[in-house]
Structure 1
Amino acid sequence: MALHNRISAAELKVKLAAETFRRVTVSFYQYAKIEDPQAFRDDLYLKLDELKVFGRIYVASEGINSQISIPEHHFEEFRNRLYAYPFLTGIRLNIAVDDDGKSFWVLKIKVREKIVADGIQDPTFSMENKGKYLKAKEFNELTEDPNTIVVDMRNHYEYEVGHFQNAIEVPSDTFREQLPMAVDMLKENKDANIVMYCTGGIRCEKASAYMLHHGFKNVFHLEGGIIEYTNKAKEQGLALKFKGKNFVFDDRLGERITDEIISNCHQCGKPCDTHTNCKNDGCHLLFIQCEECAAKYDGCCSEECQSVYHLAPEVQQEMRKGTEKGVMVFNKAKERLRPRINEKEE
């Protein structure tokens, strides 16, 4: 059996649209020692491909990071196959909050140096000493303490559309930049309760270990991140302290947590929290665009991109030759459009 997809993207998307069964979007991660990441990757690919699981999974010697879409009728078998790996037995599966089942259309499993790009070069750093987990109820209680500082360990464009009340933003485009920035920003608060959170838990767990490594005393991280918090808060009837939308790294680009819209269209300034990618394939800027501006600019980020978008496909392709392939993100905080290579962190 092939260990990689060999069907075109267009065909895969048609097949996804034609499916008559429901899919469930799930994320999970685990920091663990994997002796042979490539062998594990190949074995996992065979097991998941057979169940028609789609999604993006990163495997490294430090563990696994996964965001996937599972046919609902295969969910139990998927869990059985996953839990058959000793280091994944009983692992928490974060079920998406606002899910249309169309988050992914192909299965990609890649071996990487790390499961989340952190930029840490210090050989003495260890994930064994990490912050204390906080469940939803504990998070709500601790964040009422005036000696508590809540830190958002996500990228600026994630924070922009939704975040916890009174959370501090570490204004950066990448996690690797945020870690030293968080240490510097909070260096005068080493005795405070530092509560860190992210989308599904993987970044804030590593961040909590990094903070402890740099001398902070009382460090906590939200178990399962925003996704698990929201599900548990709703189940337990707790007050939702998160406001707005939770950005996610799949085709949905966000899941609605509360009705508040706390961000604005990057083109006209109207309240809006809908992320999109510029329709000009030579740009693909990730930005926030309202319905009116989407119609006005044909889904493009500017009149310049709109004019390119309407050129013949072969002309557009010629214009793209020699350009660096990356992902553009609109960084309003820095008042410019900044290109970066996108790290699918959660």
Structure 2
Amino acid sequence: MTDDTEVKRKRRLSKKERKALKKQRTNNNNAQKVSITATKPEADEEAAIDYLKNYEAIEVPTKVSSEINNKKGGNNTANEDLEGGSTGKTLGKWFPNALLVKSSISFTNTGQLLVNGKVDGIDESKTKNPRASLVLFYQYTEKTKKWNPERVKILMSYLSIIAKKRNLGGRIRVAQEGVNATLSAVDMPTKDGASAAETLRYVAQDLKNFDPVFEETDFKFIDDLSPDRHFKELRVIPVEELVFYGIREEDAACQEGGVHLKAKEYHEMLKEENAVVIDVRNHYEAVIGRFDGQEKVDDPKKKLEHKGAEYIDPKMRKSTDFTQWLSKDETKEKLKDKKVLMFCTGGIRCERASAFLKKEMGDEVDGVYQLQGGIERYLKAFPDGGFWRGKNFVFDKREAVSAEDKDGDGGVVKKKKGKKDNKKDDDLPAKCCVCEKKWDRYVGKKKCFTCGVPVLMCSICMSKKPDKTKGMEIKVRCPLCIEENITVPCSEVEFTDNGVKNKKNQDEQDASAGKAAQSVLKWGGGHAKKKKLQRKAQRRICQFGTECVRKDCMFYHPERQGEKSTSS
């Protein structure tokens, strides 16, 4: 070829140049997208800032010190990112108005410091034995003084400002009826940085300054945790109901629930014979820990006989199953004329459930009571575990907590040094879903093949990946699906919103095709996978064009657009 006709080849970019180009494209794309915080009216944020100005806020540094920044070559990007806080990322179509605030400081489970998501070579003296803290709380407003939508927006903005200021992580659900939250903080590695414990106490005061209703809140602080227990981001999620039961408020107002008992009062009532104790949590939580120690006799010479309140597991996949369980005749017969004790992880699920039970059976039972502060408060009051057996499944990075281990199981699978197996928990129904050996760790995010709830799978079986192996998926089922002989994958069944109920009645289902679960632990139900494939196919033009004879073809047919509009 001559020089005139020769095509110039493009120079291959170096790895560093490719990364820079990718970052530039990402930034451009994010700039074009509508930011979730930008959609909020400016007035909301201004109103939220006004609350912060009304009192003398204790200053808690939220950005990395200049000393750390200088170690990174004087690049100011990290500090500028901290000022912004929001990632511009949405939480899907179910939560389009949620706020997401990145935490600037976090730690890996090996103790490495992450500054804006990157490992930083900070001096060891500044990260010597850093600790994290958690605070769990919920608060309902008064029945006649619900927050209006504008107030909810202001509260969300207020919380996002606090998150940036205090360097928080976790999840907050906000509704007109109140707040449900799990928040985390970690010791700041700067010279004048606040400790994690101090930071969360400041947050409690921030909320009390926003609304006096938080003066009544039971803030459950858990301090001196491993630094990797801190969340890397905070999600502020607006919802219609803090815990979704599918119950109208006029049928069960949270303010009309059972009598709240402190841990020691609850413990004493568990000893009573004419009582039942209802586990308001999901079955996958109950299999690794429960209140049934009061039914056991400690003396090995005696036979095991019923002592104290009878433990009842409603065997629910999700909260919406509670009403269906309570409507059964056998349930009502078991509760009749008994003192009904209820408990859950932190107390919030008992609020609506106890109110509904009182409305349905108030005259038929000898009182309805609930554990104030949930299992978290009970284990603090009884360091030896009391009548609790096993582990308390939690919705934070601790994973599951026992009386003797507040740091929890979270992280990699490894046996903790000096930890002895608790023999009194040997008969708990916690076992691997594949090999059926004793196992009580929810790791690897393994889900039931037929209903989507978390399943227990041991490390040996996990390495074989049965959920990815054709023909082996049916082994990966929860105890409820095995007990009910559920065999149809949840991905093949359509459910109502929030996976509450199977749209196809069980009587109408083809018996030869197997039995499907009545509810699934999944937003929108199991048919989401099919809809995703349809949306993907509709973006591609059908290769057969006008010759395609399938009327239900999922691929795009430009010539059929007119037919759809006229038929509709």
Distance 2:225 2:323 in 1: 30
C-alpha change, 1:212 and 1:114, in structure 2 (3 Å) is same
Residue 325 of structure 1 is matched in structure 2 by: none
Q: CA deviation at 1:242?
A: 1.0
C-alpha change, 1:187 and 1:230, in structure 2 (3 Å) is same
1:119 maps to a residue whose letter is G
Note the alpha carbon deviations across 1:278-297, whole angstroms, 9 max, x for none: 479x9997321223323x32
Q: CA deviation at 1:220?
A: 0.3
Q: CA deviation at 1:250?
A: 2.4
Residue 132 of structure 2 is matched in structure 1 by: 23
| Contact preservation (8 Å) 1:161, 1:246 | yes
Residue 326 of structure 2 is matched in structure 1 by: 182
| Contact preservation (8 Å) 2:283, 2:314 | yes
| Contact preservation (8 Å) 1:267, 1:289 | yes
Which protein shows a greater Rg? Answer: 2
Q: CA deviation at 1:252?
A: 3.2
| Contact preservation (8 Å) 2:169, 2:183 | yes
| Contact preservation (8 Å) 1:162, 1:242 | yes
Distance 1:153 1:201 in 2: 10
1:333 pairs with 2:480:
yes
1:129 equivalent among 246, 249, 256: 256
Alignment of 1:60-209 (within 5 A): 60-71=175-186, 72=196, 73-84=198-209, 85-96=211-222, 99-103=225-229, 104-121=231-248, 123-165=250-292, 166-184=310-328, 185-188=330-333, 189-209=335-355
C-alpha change, 1:40 and 1:194, in structure 2 (3 Å) is same
Distance 2:249 2:348 in 1: 19
| Contact preservation (8 Å) 1:208, 1:219 | yes
Note the alpha carbon deviations across 1:213-247, whole angstroms, 9 max, x for none: 1132400000000111111122xx7x611111111
2:458 equivalent among 290, 295, 318: 290
Residue 210 of structure 1 is matched in structure 2 by: 356
Task: Structure 2: give runs of 5+ residues left out of the alignment.
Answer: 1-82, 91-99, 115-126, 187-195, 293-309, 405-421, 491-519, 525-568
| Contact preservation (8 Å) 2:138, 2:348 | yes
Note the alpha carbon deviations across 1:313-339, whole angstroms, 9 max, x for none: xxxxxxxxxxxxxxxx94212225655
Alignment of 1:312-327 (within 5 A): none
Q: CA deviation at 1:196?
A: 0.5
Distance 1:120 1:285 in 2: 22
C-alpha change, 1:333 and 1:99, in structure 2 (3 Å) is farther
C-alpha change, 1:291 and 1:2, in structure 2 (3 Å) is same
Higher strand share: 1
1:95 maps to a residue whose letter is F
Task: Structure 1: give runs of 5+ residues left out of the alignment.
Answer: 308-328
Residue 377 of structure 2 is matched in structure 1 by: 228
Alignment of 1:237-316 (within 5 A): 240-257=386-403, 259=422, 260=425, 262=428, 263-278=430-445, 286-294=454-462, 296-297=463-464, 300-304=465-469
| Contact preservation (8 Å) 1:97, 1:227 | no
C-alpha change, 1:192 and 1:156, in structure 2 (3 Å) is same
The number of aligned residues is: 315
Distance 1:203 1:130 in 2: 11
SS at match of 1:163: strand
1:30 maps to a residue whose letter is Q
Q: CA deviation at 1:167?
A: 2.0
Note the alpha carbon deviations across 1:127-152, whole angstroms, 9 max, x for none: 22111011111111111111110000
Query: What's the TM-score once normalised by structure 1's chain length?
Result: 0.80
1:34 pairs with 2:167:
no
Moved more, 86-95 or 154-163: 86-95
